Amino acid sequence: MQIPQGVTAVIGLGVSGRAICRHLARRGVPFALLDTRPAPPGLEAFKALYPTAPIHCGPLDEVDFSRAFEVVISPGVDPFTRGLEGLLDEINDATGEPRLVGEIALFKRAVTAPIAAITGANAKSTVTTLLGEMARAAGVDAAVGGNLGTAALELLDTRPDAELYILELSSFQLETTPHLGAAAAAFLNLSEDHLDRHGTLTGYRQAKARIFNGAEHIVVNADDPLTAPPTATRAQVAYFGRRAHETGQWGVERADGRQWLAHGSERLVAVDCLNLTGQHNYLNALAALALGEALGFAREAMVRALVAFRGLPHRSETIDTLGGVRFVNDSKGTNVGATLAAIEGIGPTLEGQLVLLAGGVGKGADFTALAAPLARYAREVLVFGKDAPRLKAALEGFVSVREVDTLEQALETAQTLARPGDCVLLSPACASLDQFANYEARGEAFRAWVQRKRSEGEA
């Protein structure tokens, strides 16, 4: 197939691909749809909506892109897929950008209001949502979306008059965004994830760091040097971390027998006033505060929103306490970095120990980083799913590990092991797709089991 002269080629018929097509159609831009799958879901509905759009389903090396105006790729499609060779290096004379871009590049061209952008291996959704709540408390009409909730291009249709766009952005979205120009951009943390796409941790970091391109204000993690801009920048840089310094860093300070979120020497709120628990969530709160400050939000309003914020489902979410044992659902912990954050965030706060439930599809990750903190905080680790043997091999010798078949078996065993003051923590360090439709389904299975046990105990 040859893309007709001047037509935009859209690759991928998923949620983002459909949003791209709707965006182009609203602007009268002719486009063709391509998908590597022979019969992608939703194809017939697409044909009904856009009967004149050229369509190609199959390998991309069967397509001639030479006459296309540009190629817009969905985040789920690797820009180095065979057939797309060199397109990231070719400059489009009309836009000054690569001929291959993603949805966020289209969003940037169309938007007039400022953008706040958040990326990181973990905690993106929590910080994005919390920043949105802070904006609302500060009287700013902000639209929240991107990799979280509503696609960025859909926000242009549903919230065209927003004063601010707050976007969670993944590495897949950023690697095809040449110049974001955010009013404020945060890189929260970095750990191994999506190496099947980016190849190395360096490649993953390079994709994430594109969030800094053209940013006015930058927020980075003082405890994670890999989040710093890789090159010199004229942007104002703010740091958040475990300690607050006189230099104005956002951090945690201990005073008067309490822990406080602080900006330099200024204490803002005691952590025991928050609904969020764990050191990792205190860092998330600090990142949101730093972003809000860069955007001009009133501190009083930000603290008010922070105190009211209860967190997101499946992210270090306390479900219940049964027999003195707390059950925490962190099913969103789909990589080693997220699980490390949960262990190191919750472990030091317990009177007892952790019973960790982990396992699923490991995506090639190295689990050995979990061994040392589990040796400090865990009573036992129960592993299940496809990569349970790899997890067990990485942790044996540091902590007691037991392999079971399913999450339900892990929960039943955990209930017999845990003692009052302990925490049964589901933070799998793995994707869920071997046994569940997604991490939400895994978390809901955890919640349902705990609620059933509560009902049985009250019967």
> Which residue spans within 54-163 are E strands per DSSP?
55-57, 71-73, 100-102, 115-119, 142-146
Contacts of 3 (CB under 8 A, 6+ apart): 9, 32, 54, 63, 64, 65, 66, 67, 68
Give 25-54 as a 3 state SS string: HHCCCCEEEEECCCCCCCHHHHHHHCCCCC
Helices (H), 50-87: none
Residue 403 burial (CB count, 10 A): 16
Catalytic residue among 56, 108, 147, 284: 147
Give one DSSP letter per residue of 387-450, joined into a string.
THHHHHHHHTTTS-EEE-SSHHHHHHHHHHH--TT-EEEE--SSBSTTTSSSHHHHHHHHHHHH
**124, 198, 314, 332: which one is catalytic?**
124
Mark whether 23 is an active-site residue: no
Are the C-beta atoms of 358 and 391 separated by less than 8 Å?
yes
Residue from 92, 194, 245, 438 carrying the catalytic annotation: 194
Alpha-carbon distance of 145 to 208, in angstroms, equals: 17
d(C-alpha 316, C-alpha 333), whole Å: 9
CB atoms within 10 A of CB 408: 14
Report DSSP state, residue 121. S
Q: Where are the beta strands (DSSP E) in 120-161?
A: 142-146
Residues near 387 by beta carbon (within 8 Å), at least 6 away in sequence: 359, 360, 361, 362, 430
Place of tokens 């360096």: 202
Q: Is 194 an annotated catalytic residue?
A: yes
Dist. CA 167–CA 70, nearest whole Å: 24
- Please indicate whether residue 124 is annotated as part of the active site: yes
Residue written as tokens 């204000």?
A: 217
Q: Which helix (H) or strand (E) holds 306?
A: helix 299-308
- Report the alpha-carbon distance of residue 135 to residue 67 in Å, rounded: 44
Enzyme catalytic residues: 124, 147, 194
